[in-house]
A and B are shown apart, each in its own frame.
Chain A
Amino acid sequence: MIDDFYKYNPYELDRSDKNQLLTNELVELTEFHNNRCPEYANFLEAVNYKKNSVNSVEDIPFFPVRLFKEYDLLSVKREDIFKVMTSSGTTGQSVSKIYVDKETAMIQQKVMIRILSDYWGKKRLPMIIVDTPAVLKDRQMFTARGAAILGLQVAAREMVYVLNDDMSLNNEKLDAFFEKYPDQPFIIFGFTFMVWKHFYQELKRNNHKYDMNKAWLMTGGGWKKLEADAVSREKFKNDINEICGIKHFIDHYGMVEQTGCIYAECEYGHLHASIFSDVIIRDFKDFSVCSHGRQGIIQVVSALPHSYPGHSLLTEDEGIVLGEDDCPCGRKGKYVKIIGRMQNAELRGCSDTYADKYRRT
């Protein structure tokens, strides 16, 4: 039961306690989806899943995340669906469709608050969103950016969108925000490259001075775009600190398929798995589990997904488990580094390839 998790703080359990709690829950979830989602039941049969041979989190079958693009996967009745979340898809691309019912949505929110309050306290804070309100326009079909923002909503006292529809910075809104919330902690949230390009660079260009000393800058969406422009994580932090005075940075890793379970960055630059979820790094050569420090394909497990079979997923990202239970920040559990999306393979041969069909952004 997910309620068992709420007895603990999100980073309280060490390896063996967490493994026991999470394994039990994941076995139950696997059974739950097995009984309710016929496609998932077929999948379990194909991978020859045996409930009794599960001893740890690593033994739960991993489901390829791409299949959410090809199938509508539900473990509840369609009429019980409260919202459909989609991955960021540009036009013409297939998108993941994640079917969320009220129960799962509620769990997602609850867990999100628990995780975030471990970073900036239980108090709801005002939040600057480095995006345009248009990102949420269609409530039924929103993107990863929209999903991340909505996930955070529960932790915000108020959300102020500071970009216009054309991505220009709305200085009046910023002025109003700082007038309303002077000299107090607040959050700035945005996707990494948008914060850099449409927030930081604009502020630098305008020479606008705001006091962001007490701000927490939370980012998501990965680093590939910025790294391609030779902006490293260190440069990002240093330059933004210099111009905006921001001291607290929280990057995070998460995906629409496991909303709520984010992996948030501590003051030592490590992304932490909470008790609600975990990361397993797998060797591409045989999907065996990589030892800590070795790069591999990221599998994520989460105790949250009830309305769809997304509790154990093989992603298309690569990462490294840096350590477990021993981060100097005091949080227990694994802490990871995300390398980013795997590269498409350039195949020889004359046929259209499977990878081509599902060419990813």
Chain B
Amino acid sequence: MQINTEELEFLVGNHDILCEMPQISVLPMFSDKIVAFLGALSRELLNDKRSKKFVDVISYAYWIRKASIEKNRDKHIDRKCRIGRGVAFHVAPSNVPVNFAVSMTSSMLAGNITLIRVSNKKFEQVDIICDAMNKLLEDEFNYLAGYICVIRYDHSDIITQELSDICDVRIVWGGNRTIREIRKAVLPPRAIEMTFADRHSIAVIDSDYYLLQDADEVAKGFYTDTYYTDQNACSSPRLVVWTGNKVEEARKLFWSKLGELAVKDYDMKPIQAVDKYTSFCTLGMGHKGMKLVSDDNYVVRIEVDNLYPELMEYKNSGGYFFEYYAGELDDIVPVLTKQCQTVSVLGIDKKDIRDIVYKYGVRGVDRIVLLGQTMGLEFIWDGYKMIENMSRFVYIGEYE
């Protein structure tokens, strides 16, 4: 296997390991070796003093600790029939530092040989995780050294093609433009692809229920859902739908609590104020039935009097919310489009939302979670069961 790797920077692994990848044996799903490696990685990360600054590194470390992985393993009841597909080539997103490791975790648990391209943007979180992996792979887990490379390279169609040529699974994290670029590189006939495109999400809150909760705690959870990632993650709610009888009272409290947090903790840049105002004006120039109801630029709220699919094309980030009062839960159907990923709920039964998805056969909604938990790490994402999708089912007439 010949790959021109002069332009590659290796954060984990090296040129020889990369070239050998197509020849390495795949592993069974949830192999003990990998579970042990992830457990050790978790310990390394939690012991690294640098990790303390990074909530994302810490949550990742907890997510991959042995007990947590074993709990997830037990949910994969058909794992005995499953084995890795081969080389999994991941293209990680540029602005979510720890995402590469999350993608890698599913890939390794599926039994694959894992090759990850991380963003050229430097993040300390990436260094911390790669340092820990290197330490383990050089020593105790040397026998896994052939299974992983983490690389960087400047956008290059040629390199992307060379790496795609050796892969059996390609995993491309969004935005849509990246996916379009990467897809110029054709895949081998048997290879499969998983793409994580631009999505948006919404929240549904029952006003009566909300007023019985601790408003500060709810605000903290919603802040994590939104501002913590500049309200720019796929799972960040862009629209808040209210139901129930005390909507006015609930809204007032909810937004004022959130506003306090945003003013205190969110480092808004002046251009974001202009961006948000521009988005609002763009919407206003083409549509009736909306009004700006916010007091400042930290929490920009646009009240709309009806929901329609294109509304979400006018979304923005950094504290920009559409708000709608739904007489019936079914009113949300128009925004459950292909682009809609997560519906987070407070005081609404998750199953009621799923029932709507089934009743109307909408194309969107892959995930329904409680408000405040949209950022949770999961092995099921964007409608994929990640580990299953990256593995191969060896069928002997039985499912377990």
Residues of A within 8 A of B (CB): 39-40, 42-43, 45-48, 63-64, 66-67, 70-71, 284-287, 296-297, 314, 316, 318, 342-355
Q: Inside 8 A of B95's CB, which chain A residues have their CB?
A: 346-350
C-alpha gap A71/B317 in the complex (Å): 22
> Would you call B272 an interface residue if the criterion is a C-beta within 8 Å of the partner chain's C-beta atoms?
yes
Tally chain B residues at the interface, Cβ within 8 Å. Answer: 52
A347–B274 touching, CB < 8 Å: no
Q: Inside 8 A of B96's CB, which chain A residues have their CB?
A: 348-350
B284–A43 touching, CB < 8 Å: yes
* Shortest Cβ-Cβ A-B pairs, 10 listed: A46-B284, A349-B232, A352-B175, A284-B270, A286-B296, A64-B278, A284-B273, A345-B269, A347-B230, A342-B271
Knowing A46-B280, A345-B269, say if A350 contacts B173 (CB, 8 Å).
Answer: yes
Total number of residue pairs linking A and B with CB closer than 8 Å: 139
Q: Inside 8 A of B277's CB, which chain A residues have their CB?
A: 64, 287, 314
Fill in one digit per residue for B252-289: 1 if any A CB lies within 8 Å of its CB, else 0: 00000000000100001111111101111111111110
- B260 CB to nearest A CB, Å: 14
B288–A42 touching, CB < 8 Å: yes
| Best-surrounded residue of B199, B230, B273 (most CB of chain A within 10 A) | B273
> Would you mind naming 22 contact pairs between A and B with Cβ atoms under 8 Å apart?
A45-B284, A45-B288, A46-B284, A48-B292, A64-B281, A66-B274, A67-B278, A71-B285, A286-B295, A297-B270, A314-B274, A314-B277, A316-B271, A318-B270, A342-B269, A342-B271, A345-B230, A349-B234, A350-B96, A351-B233, A352-B176, A355-B272
C-alpha gap A285/B232 in the complex (Å): 20
> Would you call B373 an interface residue if the criterion is a C-beta within 8 Å of the partner chain's C-beta atoms?
no
C-alpha gap A338/B217 in the complex (Å): 43
- A356 CB to nearest B CB, Å: 8
Residues of B within 8 A of A (CB): 93, 95-96, 99, 173-177, 196, 198-200, 229-234, 236, 263, 268-275, 277-288, 290-292, 295-298, 315-318
C-alpha gap A162/B280 in the complex (Å): 45
Q: Inside 8 A of A284's CB, which chain B residues have their CB?
A: 268-270, 272-274, 297
| CB contact between A351 and one of B234, B279, B296 (< 8 Å): that residue | B234
- B92 CB to nearest A CB, Å: 10
Q: Inside 8 A of A351's CB, which chain B residues have their CB?
A: 174-175, 198-200, 232-234, 317
- A126 CB to nearest B CB, Å: 41
Knowing A42-B286, A345-B318, say if A286 contacts B297 (CB, 8 Å).
Answer: yes
C-alpha gap A285/B318 in the complex (Å): 12
C-alpha gap A39/B286 in the complex (Å): 7
- B232 CB to nearest A CB, Å: 3
Q: Inside 8 A of A67's CB, which chain B residues have their CB?
A: 278, 281-282, 285
Knowing A286-B297, A318-B270, A349-B96, say if A46 contacts B292 (CB, 8 Å).
Answer: yes
Q: Inside 8 A of A352's CB, which chain B residues have their CB?
A: 174-177, 198
- B294 CB to nearest A CB, Å: 9
| CB contact between B298 and one of A285, A296, A347 (< 8 Å): that residue | A285
C-alpha gap A287/B268 in the complex (Å): 13
Task: Tell me whether chain A's interface is mostly helix, strand or loop, or mixed.
Answer: loop
| CB contact between A42 and one of B200, B234, B285, B298 (< 8 Å): that residue | B285
| Best-surrounded residue of A39, A318, A355 (most CB of chain B within 10 A) | A355
- A185 CB to nearest B CB, Å: 41
C-alpha gap A296/B270 in the complex (Å): 8
Knowing A285-B298, A287-B297, say if A355 contacts B199 (CB, 8 Å).
Answer: no
B283–A46 touching, CB < 8 Å: yes
- B94 CB to nearest A CB, Å: 9
C-alpha gap A185/B279 in the complex (Å): 48
A348–B272 touching, CB < 8 Å: no
C-alpha gap A343/B275 in the complex (Å): 12
C-alpha gap A141/B218 in the complex (Å): 53
Of all chain A residues, the one with the shortest Cβ separation from B233 is A349
| Best-surrounded residue of B177, B281, B282, B317 (most CB of chain A within 10 A) | B281
A354–B275 touching, CB < 8 Å: yes
| CB contact between A70 and one of B175, B271, B282, B288 (< 8 Å): that residue | B282
Of all chain A residues, the one with the shortest Cβ separation from B286 is A42
A350–B318 touching, CB < 8 Å: no
Q: Inside 8 A of B271's CB, which chain A residues have their CB?
A: 316, 342-345, 355
| Best-surrounded residue of A39, A47, A318, A354 (most CB of chain B within 10 A) | A354
A47–B268 touching, CB < 8 Å: no
Of all chain B residues, the one with the shortest Cβ separation from A352 is B175
C-alpha gap A66/B274 in the complex (Å): 9
Starting from the known contacts A345-B269, A349-B230, 12 additional A-B residue pairs (CB-CB under 8 Å) come to: A45-B288, A46-B285, A67-B278, A297-B273, A316-B271, A345-B272, A347-B232, A348-B230, A349-B233, A350-B174, A354-B275, A355-B275
B232–A353 touching, CB < 8 Å: yes
Q: Inside 8 A of B284's CB, which chain A residues have their CB?
A: 42-43, 45-47
C-alpha gap A234/B51 in the complex (Å): 46
- A77 CB to nearest B CB, Å: 20
A354–B279 touching, CB < 8 Å: yes
Q: Inside 8 A of B275's CB, which chain A residues have their CB?
A: 345, 354-355
Q: Inside 8 A of B280's CB, which chain A residues have their CB?
A: 46
Q: Inside 8 A of B288's CB, which chain A residues have their CB?
A: 42, 45
C-alpha gap A43/B268 in the complex (Å): 25
Q: Inside 8 A of B278's CB, which chain A residues have their CB?
A: 64, 66-67, 354
C-alpha gap A348/B375 in the complex (Å): 13
Q: Inside 8 A of B298's CB, which chain A residues have their CB?
A: 285
C-alpha gap A134/B285 in the complex (Å): 37
C-alpha gap A71/B231 in the complex (Å): 27
C-alpha gap A63/B285 in the complex (Å): 11
Q: Inside 8 A of B174's CB, which chain A residues have their CB?
A: 350-352
Q: Inside 8 A of B198's CB, which chain A residues have their CB?
A: 350-352
C-alpha gap A154/B275 in the complex (Å): 36
C-alpha gap A191/B51 in the complex (Å): 48
C-alpha gap A308/B292 in the complex (Å): 24
- B200 CB to nearest A CB, Å: 7
C-alpha gap A66/B275 in the complex (Å): 9
Knowing A348-B232, A352-B177, A352-B198, say if A43 contacts B270 (CB, 8 Å).
Answer: no
Q: Inside 8 A of B232's CB, which chain A residues have their CB?
A: 347-351, 353
C-alpha gap A64/B95 in the complex (Å): 27
C-alpha gap A348/B280 in the complex (Å): 21
C-alpha gap A343/B99 in the complex (Å): 26
A285–B297 touching, CB < 8 Å: yes
Of all chain B residues, the one with the shortest Cβ separation from A37 is B285
C-alpha gap A45/B281 in the complex (Å): 10
